[in-house]
Chains A and B, each alone.
Chain A
Amino acid sequence: AQSVAQPEDQVNVAEGNPLTVKCTYSVSGNPYLFWYVQYPNRGLQFLLKYITGDNLVKGSYGFEAEFNKSQTSFHLKKPSALVSDSALYFCAVRDLRDDKIIFGKGTRLHILP
């Protein structure tokens, strides 16, 4: 069965600095990977996805993610953090054999002014 690990409960970054939120995954076949963001009292918003092709994918709000097959990782990145990026971030993996989308436990990103 597929699984997702987000090793950090919280990440603190100063505004203007680059940020990274880590994610590793386990899936039998080719991974389809996603990042979502959740603001307080809101549902999950889709940020970006990796299906195939370039290992660096770009998404909404200036976020990007780097797929690394050998390390089974899909880390979320942004070159310059904004205070408004403070939220809860979830990594997810889709297994095409059963079409399930499984989420990690989430990482709270706190951008310090």
Chain B
Amino acid sequence: EAGVAQSPRYKIIEKRQSVAFWCNPISGHATLYWYQQILGQGPKLLIQFQNNGVVDDSQLPKDRFSAERLKGVDSTLKIQPAKLEDSAVYLCASSLGPQGREAFFGQGTRLTVV
């Protein structure tokens, strides 16, 4: 079974530039999560999709972050414009759905904003 795929693995941009991350979840997984992990901290949930609908985006800084999930499969997370404090690893995860199913994670995208 293929895992969660993310790209790119690494990205370096200047502040005020824009950047996009891509995620392909495990086939058949209805729930998709984007997390932000700042160095030394635990993953922080940014947004959660159920199929192509947003379930929770309460922690997403909507003035600069946006995300979409096309046709309930792939997802993109965008930052525009980026700030220095956005430097982090962005993790995508997917799960079959509710009822206690665990989430499976991609390897993440390490973003450095200079």
Contacts and interface: CB of A to CB of B under 8 A. Distances in A.
B48 A34 contact: no
Interface in A88-103: 90, 94, 96, 98-103
B69 to A, nearest CB: 15
A27 B39 CA distance: 26
A106 B42 contact: yes
B21 interface: no
Interface residues of A, number: 25
Interface residues of B, number: 28
Contacts of A41: 107, 110
B55 A98 contact: yes
Interface of A: 4, 6, 32, 34, 36, 41-46, 49, 51, 90, 94, 96, 98-106
Contact of B105 (A45, A49, A94, A102): A45
Contacts of A90: 42-43
Contact of B106 (A36, A43, A51, A106): A43
Nearest to A96: B98
B56 A100 contact: yes
